[in-house]
Structure 1
Amino acid sequence: MSTSRVDELINYFKSHNKIREQQSHSAKVHSVGWSCDGKLLASGSFDKSVCIFSLCPDRLKQETTFRGHGGSVDQLCWHAFYPELLSTASGDKTVRIWDTRTQKCTANISTRGENINISWSPDGNTIAVGNKEDLVTFIDARVMKIRAEEQFNFEVNEISWNKDSDTFYLTNGQGCVHILSYPDLELLHVIKAHPGTCICIEFDPTGRYFATGSADALVSLWDADELCCLRTFSRLEWPVRTISFSYDGQLLAAASEDLVIDIGEVETGEKIADIPVEAATFTVAWHPKQYLLAYACDDKDTYDRKRDAGSLKVFGFAND
């Protein structure tokens, strides 16, 4: 990518670096995500609730709060092409599906452990959910029934699918990415991606690349076909907890316990912008159609430092 494009992006964020904050939870926000059409943003929290916001031109507006989980909502993800469907993974040993049109829970699937991560396949047919005991459960999203379970004998961190939904990826505590075929769940490849724990994984919207974040403070970018590492992003100093590609695949946001969220240009690795934060950041998500980044930090209440702020923020609104 030309230097002019990098300069364009840097200049864009100089005039689009306004942050909007929403305080809607009573405890830490674990996960944020945009609906596929970008009209809604969801947040899941330790307070057992899910909040839904609509996007206005210059801010967010809270629409509704979903309650029903009996434990922390650790991760959420939306359906790839039905913008009203949201899935949530909770420590209460269930996966729930919510419909924003009816504002109700439409399915409640019991699983065998406390769930910590979830990934909905791009074809919409399968929801994979991982628990604290490294068991991954595959739910057929068409009938909301468990189709398969796979127990791993190592620490499973984050899970993801390729663009065609026929291979399943997971990151582990030994710094590896395991790639399995789906639905047969046969091990195809093990990539030794990092010397430290491999924490998070994300595919870019084109399906050409995936990125991994690790305890070694690096983000590595991989060619999804060749399974070779193309480059690393090394501006953070703490374990990388969360990463997200922009809608066009040109930007990669990464966050950690550093007091900054790093935004790099994918083709060159160059820094485009950073977002100053006051606490560790555990979730980031780019909007599916524009350069807006939702994120949530381990912020404390302004007046009572022992209490979580329960807030989420969106960066990238036009400056006044």
Structure 2
Amino acid sequence: MAPTSLRPRQSLAKDKFASHFSALKGQYYTDTTSSARGNQPSSRSDSDLGLIRSIAWSPLGNLVATGSADRTLRVWNPEKAHVRFSTELKGHSTTISKVAFNPVKDAELCSVSEDGTVKFWDVRTKNCVNEVKGLGEACSLVWAPDGSSLIVGNRSNNLFTLSPTLSEPVSSHQQDGRTNQIAFTWKGNRIFATTGMGSTRILTYPDFNTAMRYDYPTRHGESDEFVLRGHTSSAVSVELSPTGRWLATGGTDSMIALYDTQSWLCSRTITKTAGPVRSLSFTFDGSYIAGGSEGEAGVHISHVETGEHVHTIKTAGNCPFVSWAPTKYCLAYSDTSVNALRIVGVDTDKR
């Protein structure tokens, strides 16, 4: 399930993480042009999430995209924090719920808004190169590992398979229950779909069939579908580690569940976070995980193998959206106290 190759990079020992990360600089990336226009969130009353609703690094880690509730889609240069060095991609008319770079094309960005419009962008030219409409109140987006297709889900629990070159969905798959965020296996032949029941389904891709079933009889009326169970309430976020060793899910029960992908057992839970865990992100080596929550200030970072808490980034506001850089210990997160993106560990003095 792991990628076919991993770049040789040095990992940081658990006992050295806190001292190393505490010494790293943090930089705010504030969209002053948006506030000057007086843009406000265009939908949803959950203002605790702040303006930023999604953060995505490019595959090489040289760009960071943010999608916001005020309809602003912006691509930042991490090494140059001023907004004049960023690029605004204009075209969405309502809240941008998710953004993601094509995992094999550094300049191709996809964004989805709550009005069901999906846009594909070439960030070099600032052009929208493709558009898909009519997908309902869209809330999730994930690329297949080979970058040839992607899945968009809406609040009516319909999952659409899209091609970056087609203006109509390739297929649609209505789900029986509430379906939240989705992650792919690294082979791209299965997906993990978190549900409102607190479980995580494992489905085949691209046909969306049940991938695993219990090998013993179930009681009358019970499904024999094998699902991952780790939450007492809705599971709302999911992430597969870069090594494929661990699958993490975050729930509205404030817990992060870590599943061993060999045994499919929930090996441990992380309970440091308060409030719903809206986003999850592993470091490039899979050694550490951060969870974004709307329930408290700060970002907690834990060691994956042991579940131990290793560091907390202190903030004044909630930080519901987090994303580690794909190549180094560099964390981007949204800070609702200033409605801005912040990145810790980037070298802003680099020339």
Is 1:22 the counterpart of 2:60? The answer is no
| Aligned-partner Cα distance in 2 for 1:262–1:112 | 35
Does the 8 Å CA contact 2:116/2:135 hold for their aligned counterparts? yes
Larger radius of gyration: 2
| Aligned-partner Cα distance in 2 for 1:319–1:121 | 32
Is 1:314 the counterpart of 2:343? The answer is yes
Is 1:90 the counterpart of 2:127? The answer is no
| Aligned-partner Cα distance in 2 for 1:143–1:241 | 30
2:214 counterpart residue number: none
Give the C-alpha shift of residue 141 in structure 1: 3.0
| Aligned-partner Cα distance in 1 for 2:19–2:317 | 26
From 237, 250, 266, give the equivalent of 1:200. Answer: 237
2:218 counterpart residue number: none
| Aligned-partner Cα distance in 2 for 1:261–1:272 | 11
SS at match of 1:191: strand
Is 1:248 the counterpart of 2:277? The answer is no
Give the C-alpha shift of residue 60 in structure 1: 6.5
SS at match of 2:171: strand
Give the C-alpha shift of residue 237 in structure 1: 2.3
Give the C-alpha shift of residue 110 in structure 1: 1.2
From 4, 21, 33, give the equivalent of 1:13. Answer: 21
How many residue pairs were aligned?
A: 306
Is 1:180 the counterpart of 2:217? The answer is no
**TM-superposition CA deviations, 1:238-269 (whole Å, max 9, x none):** 22111100111111001212212101111111
Does the 8 Å CA contact 1:197/1:216 hold for their aligned counterparts? yes
Instruction: Give structure 2 stretches of 5+ with no counterpart.
Output: 1-11, 41-50, 212-225
1:209 counterpart residue number: 246
From 145, 157, 166, give the equivalent of 1:122. Answer: 145
From 236, 261, 275, give the equivalent of 1:238. Answer: 275
Give the C-alpha shift of residue 144 in structure 1: 5.2
Does the 8 Å CA contact 1:241/1:281 hold for their aligned counterparts? no
Give the C-alpha shift of residue 311 in structure 1: 1.3
Return the letter of the residue paired with 1:242. S
- CA 1:12/1:318 → structure 2, altered by over 3 Å: closer, same or farther? farther
2:6 counterpart residue number: none
Does the 8 Å CA contact 2:130/2:164 hold for their aligned counterparts? no
| Aligned-partner Cα distance in 2 for 1:138–1:60 | 36
Does the 8 Å CA contact 1:125/1:142 hold for their aligned counterparts? no
| Aligned-partner Cα distance in 2 for 1:106–1:67 | 13
Please provide the CA RMSD for this pair: 1.9
Give the C-alpha shift of residue 317 in structure 1: 4.3
- Matching of residues 1-320 of structure 1 within 5 Å: 5-16=13-24, 18-24=25-31, 25-26=34-35, 27=40, 28-56=51-79, 59=81, 62-143=85-166, 145-188=168-211, 189-256=226-293, 257-299=295-337, 309-317=338-346
| Aligned-partner Cα distance in 1 for 2:78–2:317 | 25
SS at match of 1:289: coil
Give the C-alpha shift of residue 158 in structure 1: 0.8
Return the letter of the residue paired with 2:228. I
Give the C-alpha shift of residue 319 in structure 1: 11
SS at match of 1:259: strand
SS at match of 1:8: helix
| Aligned-partner Cα distance in 2 for 1:231–1:155 | 25
SS at match of 2:286: coil
Percent identical pairs in the alignment equals 29
Give the C-alpha shift of residue 42 in structure 1: 0.4
Return the letter of the residue paired with 1:19. G
SS at match of 2:106: coil
Instruction: Give structure 1 stretches of 5+ with no counterpart.
Output: 300-308
Give the TM-score, by structure 1 length. Answer: 0.90
Give the C-alpha shift of residue 143 in structure 1: 4.1
SS at match of 2:103: coil
| Aligned-partner Cα distance in 2 for 1:201–1:93 | 22
SS at match of 2:236: strand
**TM-superposition CA deviations, 1:44-65 (whole Å, max 9, x none):** 0111121111122x85763210
Return the letter of the residue paired with 1:250. S
The structure with more strand, counted as a fraction of residues: 1
Does the 8 Å CA contact 2:130/2:165 hold for their aligned counterparts? no
The answer to which of 279-288 and 37-46 deviates more is 279-288
